[in-house]
Amino acid sequence: MLKAIEAFHPPVVRGNPIKIKYVTQLPTPVPSFAFFCNFPDDIKQPYKNYLENQLRQHFNFKGVPVRLFFRKNRRQKTAIPSVFRKPIWFFTQ
């Protein structure tokens, strides 16, 4: 799937590119895949269709329903208030 994503990049949303971090297959009877990205709600239907077609072509899912889920990346960096950040420099004596 990495080659398919690199061949046709995800769209740019509000000046920020959508980054698909990884894809995993879910343990269900129907082939289901979860795409983890930074803006899952902003992926439009044409790009979802493209990814589904690439999955069908690569894994030979002809006549089988395929489900795609787009989820927020769990490993997002959280904003730490500047009061709690460690200083970048250290004083030596």
45-52: long-range contacts, CB 8 A cutoff, minimum separation 24: 47/8, 47/10, 47/11, 50/4, 50/8, 51/1, 51/4, 51/5
Distance CA 91, CA 93 (A): 7
The whole-model pTM stands at 0.74
- pLDDT score of 29: 93
Cβ-in-10-Å burial (0-12, 13-18, 19+) of 56 comes to middle
Q: In the structure encoding, which two tokens stand for residue 48, read together?
A: 């979802």
Domain 2-72, second-level architecture: 2-Layer Sandwich (3.30)
Residue 92: is its pLDDT beyond 50?
no
For the chain, the domains span 2-72
- pLDDT score of 1: 79
